[in-house]
Amino acid sequence: MKKNIFKKNNTANWFLGLFVVLFLVVIGRSFVGTNNIAAPTELATDGAAVTVVSDKPVVLTFSDVLRRAGDIKSINIRENDATGIMKDGTKFKSVISHDPEFLTKLSDKGATVTLDSSKSFAEKFIFGMEFLFMGLLIFWIFRGLRGGASGGLSRALLAQNPTKVTTGKPKTTFADVAGIDAEKQELMEIVEFLKNKEKFKALGARVPRGVLLAGEPGTGKTLLARAIAGEANVPFFATSGSDFSGIIVGLGVAKIKEMFEMAKRNAPCILFIDEIDAIGQKRSAHSFNDQDREQTLNQLLIEMDGFANETGIIVIGATNRPDMLDAALLRPGRFDRQVQIELPDLAGRDAILQLHAKKFKISPSVQLRDVARGTTGFSGADLENLLNEGALHAVRAGHKSVEQTDLDEARDKILMGPKKNRKMRPEDIKLTAYHEAGHAFVSMIYADVTDPIHKATIIPRGRALGMVQHLPIDDKVSMTVQEVRANLAVDLAGRAAEEIFFGDEKITTGAEADIEAATRLARYSITTAGLSPKVGLAAIKQSSNFANRGQLENASQKTAELVDAEIRSWLDNAHADAVRILTKHKAKVVKLATELLDKETLTGDEIREIVLGKKADKTENHDKKETKAQKKTIRKTTKKIDAKK
């Protein structure tokens, strides 16, 4: 039995037919554009009479026609092709330039000039083919528009740009989400409504129709949305804002309709739109070039405002740019509630690490609390990646489980980059050792107001030739003036050590990042936090002008000069303080630098032993308990700085 392959794929047949028509049009245009001019049998081009050997018309050039204008009896011109008869009866053909002066000259010479504007059969055929081709194309498009479902688009058009929707009942619950307990509590009402909406109806309460999850990338917005659906045991539909844009105008509107109809058929459910700012950006009078996106946004606004509250559809949007969203999208009745998901604090990072550590073979000696202390500013995704990088390092090192050293290496790699096998000059290595020793020593002197030292190293990573790493006891939400001054002295201690041990002519550019960090901290303390008595409590923001030095807003020229002078004063005092401390304890700084040259990396306990002259007590929290002599030194130093102020 023969199979009719043309019945299998109607779309392919349409495209094949259109291709054939297009091919005929091209061939026809080529045929019309060709000048089928017979070659002359004999042609005189020197002004003599034309000798005709056969009955075929001779071909004259345009120059010949101009010279023989007085010999022409009649000429018929059609576009650039001309045919005519000489006064002696000779027929000719020519390709001429359509020039009114030329036609006037021929008429003055007694020639009969005829202009033919009619179309030939071939041209009529080509025009008909073009018209037929456009008609077939329009018919094919409207055939799809007429037969489609959900918004009027056919399956063939939607198949070209399908809506990527993840469906199903997720198994993720709130037990799989750690580090954002306050946000989970905020969303428990959504779960309760999906489980038992009658309890809310009895009191006349209206549960939010939409919830906007805003936060930094990797903080768990998508995970939290899935956990809501899993906790309530309802269907979960997930898509992305970018899926509603396409090359076909109006396709985004159809997809919005399709998605909401799908959700209504499966209510109660969770409808999750990730990166909603892709379609929900603010509209303006100048956004006429993006009408398709605005139409898609309008359809989303209509759908979110259109379904009844008792349908049980909860729309959850996620974005890391809530400031870009249109105000109509954030009004009550659409996204009623906005939940800001912050980066996890110390306790949150510890909980996230404990949760993800279940998937890895972690050594019992690993202190995840210490890992959490050293990962300030990490998101949940960053912490999971940290454990994975540690596991990869453990495999490369041949460890049977993930050790503390593997996690430390993974953290350093993420923060500063991989180790660099640079060939450094001995004098550069020595200078780096003294630079880092200066940071470490001053940090130990201010141990009760700065974060405890975790380690110091002169192993190059990224752009840094060495570093001193601190592990905070907890997350700080603010800093005292004493802490600011101590941190400024620690930042500038590396440059101070270079000056003391190598001289002013040997200082290097290695303190670039330290000076930048110190300047940023001093400027923030003076212009924003109001910690300078001279500048006062006025908040002065630093505006960012592209490619130019930032200007101080809300400040006169006199105030700006005062701010610059005060920043310089703070930095100079911090630098003088670091020089004083290092000069007073040169022997211990030399010993610390020598140990760094020998071992390349020193732990916090080893640094503490060199500076304090005794081993650290493992049974106490040495990160906070320091000797009376140190505290006395700190008080003296602070008083001197205050006196200078």
Distance CA 95, CA 78 (A): 10
Distance of CA 272 to the CA centre of its chain: 21
Instruction: Name the active-site residue from 384, 436, 566, 606.
Output: 436
Question: Which residues have C-beta within 8 Å of that of residue 376, sequence separation ≥ 6?
Answer: 346, 472, 475
Contact predicate 258/163, CB 8 Å: yes
Question: Which residues have C-beta within 8 Å of that of residue 123, sequence separation ≥ 6?
Answer: 32
Report residue 175 as tokens: 């037990």
CA distances (Å), origin 210, targets 220, 330, 398 = 18, 9, 50
Q: Is 436 a catalytic site residue?
A: yes
CA distances (Å), origin 345, targets 487, 530, 554 = 21, 26, 33
Report residue 362 as tokens: 């972690």
Distance CA 353, CA 406 (A): 15
Contact predicate 235/266, CB 8 Å: yes
Alpha helices in 34-120 (DSSP H): 62-67, 100-108
Expressed in angstroms, the distance from the first to the final Cα of the chain is: 102
Report residue 641 as tokens: 């700085």
Distance CA 212, CA 205 (A): 20
Which residue is it, tokens 């001429």?
Answer: 96
Contact predicate 296/243, CB 8 Å: no
Distance CA 137, CA 143 (A): 10
Contact predicate 604/454, CB 8 Å: yes
Report residue 485 as tokens: 């001054």
Distance CA 240, CA 220 (A): 15
With CA atoms as reference, report the closest residue to 340 among 178, 236, 211, 241. 211
Catalytic residues: 436
